[in-house]
Amino acid sequence: ETERLIGFFINLLPLHTDLSGDPTFAELVLRVREVALGAYAHQDIPFDKLVEDLQPERSLSHNPIVQALFVMQNVPAQRRDLPGLELIPFPASISRSKFDVAVFIRANASGTFQDWLYSTELFDKSTILRMASNYEHLLRNAVDHPESRLSTLEFQSANEKQQLEYEKTQRKQSQRSKLMSASPKAVNLAETDQKQ
């Protein structure tokens, strides 16, 4: 039926992830598996038809139904040998994201790679880099401790925690300095973190 067709055949498949009850990572994987299998049974329904039937509240600021996209690309690279020609992949430049954030995971014999595409109106590059690092850290912890509840899994590295604590201390000191400058003769009480 599709033998004579040429084109880009892909359909967006929305999945709703239920995080209620603070499941373990292993439980979450089973939940996602069940949702995915149910969605695959209806994958022939075009996304546009789904939007039409559900009639979500529309906004020009975001995509209907799906704002975050996760794509796992584990299709092996195909090598084409053409006499006298050398073919190399050419990265496509995408300047605008259709979603708040889209994560593309590519797996091949060399390893696993992440590509993050995001709305620059919502995120800056440093935020996305931090999110990518947190994502990797969370996955490592989840794989190492699959019976841990999601709420207990670490997603920040020790360096990031230290940096955030430093920034918090700097903000407190800055606020204290501003208050002292505004009322230099007022009584100042300071909270200390002393452990006994």
Residue 41 clears pLDDT 80, i.e. is over it: yes
Spatial separation of the C-alpha atoms in residues 65 and 61, rounded to whole Å: 12
Mean pLDDT of the chain: 85
* 141-166 residue pLDDT tens: 999 999 999 999 999 988 888 888 88
Report the percent of the chain where pLDDT is more than 90: 38
Residue 196 confidence class, pLDDT cut points 50, 70, 90:
low
- Residue whose C-alpha is closest to residue 105's, from 117, 96, 94: 117
Backbone angles phi, psi at 129, to 5 degrees: -60, -40
Distances (CA, A) of 81 to 13, 26, 85: 34, 43, 8
Whether the per-residue pLDDT at 36 is higher than 70: the answer is yes
Find the farthest-apart pair of alpha carbons in the chain and give their distance in angstroms, rounded. 85
Q: Is the pTM of this model over 0.95?
A: no
pLDDT in tens, 63-115: 778 889 998 887 666 667 778 887 776 766 666 778 899 999 988 778 888 99
